[in-house]
Amino acid sequence: MPASVTLPLEELDMMRKASEEKDVQITQLKQDLLEAKMSDQMGSIAPMAKLCRHTMEIVTFAVGNLSPEIIKRWPYQALREVATRLALLPDYSINDGDLAAELLKFAAECERWEARRKSEPEKYVPPPPGRDDHGRYVDDKGNVIGAPVAQLEAMKQINATPGSTLPAIGNPPVIGLAREGVATPTPDDPSAA
């Protein structure tokens, strides 16, 4: 059974007007509170708040563009500290509360990635091949596969012996035009060096 209340129109208008006046008063008090927070006899709070806003712009850019999966050693503890202290800003708003929650989630994700990296063994990165590494390569586990240069030289000597049935191993001959009076050097010619 619905209840009903009968009010004169003048009384209803007075209640609406009083409610609107209270809303205006609440808005004015919020504005006065913000001005009181921002008022500073030495003039340092407003510039510091502006600096914090610019810093938060940089932080949100970094969080949006530097994935913890790719970037190692994300400073997630500092990010967590920023997120928890965001409420101390003099011009704190509801949007800052949402931003703080997102930053805390991102810091937790960074922490998980760093813990994962610490738990995995470090992968071996082989040094780049040098001059004496002809004929070798390094597999994924860091094992050297292939013949070292000394073994290749021994194979060349075996192949150079008369009557050897092994195929020849070595560099192909140098192809080029011989100038008059100058012989084209071959790789096996010791005078070519």
3-state secondary structure 93-108: CHHHHHHHHHHHHHHH
Domain that holds residue 129: 125-162
- 31 shares a domain with 104: yes
- 105 shares a domain with 42: yes
- 93 shares a domain with 158: no
Q: pLDDT of 67-90, one tens digit each?
A: 998 888 889 999 999 999 988 887
pLDDT at position 22 is 94
Is residue 11 in a domain? no
Is residue 111 in a domain? yes
Q: pLDDT of 97-109, one tens digit each?
A: 899 999 999 999 9
Q: Last residue of some domain: 119, 144, 173?
A: 119
- pTM of the predicted model as reported, rounded to 2 decimal places: 0.44
Query: The tokens 């003048």 sit on which residue?
Result: 10
- Nearest-CA neighbor of 34 among 94, 84, 85, 92? 92
What angle is formed at CA 109 by the lines to CA 105 and CA 112, rounded to 5 degrees? 140
